[in-house]
Amino acid sequence: MKFRPIFLFLLLIPIFTLPSPSIPQSGDPTKVYRVAILPFMIHSEENLDYLREGIYDILTSRMTAEEGVVVIDRSIVERALYDEKPTRLDETVARKIGMRIGADYIVLGSITKTRADVSLDARLISVAEEKPPFTVSAQQKSVDEMMLKISDFAQDMGYKILGRRAMAGQPDEPRRPLITHAFTVEKIKYGDILKVYIEAEDPNGRMARIGTVVDQAGYGRYPISWVYLKPKDRKYFKGYLQWNTFSSKTSILSEGTPITLTVFVYDKSGHRSNAFTFPIMFESGVKRASSYQVPSPFDQKDIRKLGSINVELTDLTLLPP
């Protein structure tokens, strides 16, 4: 079901009909917080570009319903993106753009739609302060259900920015694992070894497994590849996943084949961390992946292998019509 204006109208009704919570703020009540919303990345075989408009409208309307929060004009954000020309949108890039346009917070996220469900990964990132982002990860059966989840997330972000406590009767959001840093190269030769570096933490010490999802343009999503963590890694780990990109299903891979690779962590209770998504291009003329300089905090000699990514690619030109 496509997202329509009437659905957006129904989502916005509570903003004008429900009384504002009377919970005191923990900061300066006169301060106005500036929030920038980056365009959400959409991963789908369908054309779902229209979702970006709906997401932006929901986030803007819900957050600005709280006095003290303003959303920076979209044209300013788009100009900053044009000037920066980032190859991918991650927390480091988000903070850089936020500082460039004078934002206190920046919103970064993605929507992934498969035949079975719709997945959301979104983060509210503090630009000036080094603190963990406020994250939400969810799976729903339809786009409409996911839009309701985004609406709830937007309202929670408004409370988070203003320092409001959770409303009476509402349970606190469970603590989830957090991927603090992740890195891999953007271009690779087919058959080369790709290392995906990850650093993650969980104060509860309940991290259980790392998931890797590979989406290939024109093919779709491959089954999730899982790596199960050892007991010593359940509170904190830093290392890499190794992917031998040569596939037994094909001896070649068409030049310029683009994929996206997404990593995330689950704890023992099934709570999912934030996700890092990397665009990767297969090209024959690039240097070996091992020759690239690895950034901090992965530029150390003691970085260890956490496990392997078990995904075998398919060359679309070899498939029967």
CA distances from 1 to 101, 194, 206 (A): 36, 38, 37
Whether omega before 297 lies within 30 degrees of 0, making that bond cis, reads: yes
pLDDT tens-digit series, residues 277-316: 889 999 888 888 888 889 889 988 889 999 999 999 988 7
Residue 189 one-letter amino acid:
K
Beta bridge partners of 276: 263
In this prediction, residue 89 carries a pLDDT of: 76
**Two tokens, residue 252:** 């070649």
**Contact partners, residue 281, CB within 8 Å, separation at least 6:** 186, 187, 188, 256, 257, 258, 259
Quick: pLDDT tens for 163-218.
754 343 444 455 788 998 999 998 999 999 999 999 999 988 999 999 999 988 87
Look up residue 287 and give its DSSP letter. Answer: P
Q: What is the per-residue pLDDT for 164? A: 56
Tell me what pLDDT residue 244 has: 95
**Greatest mean pLDDT among 23-27, 30-34, 184-188, 235-239:** 235-239
Q: What is the mean pLDDT of residues 261-269?
A: 88
**pLDDT tens for each residue of 102-136:** 999 999 888 888 877 888 888 888 887 777 788 87
pLDDT at residue 318 in the model: 58
Domains of the chain: 5-162 (3.40.50.10070), 178-315 (2.60.40.10)
| pLDDT at residue 9, rounded to an integer | 42
User: What is the predicted pLDDT for the residue at 171?
Assistant: 46
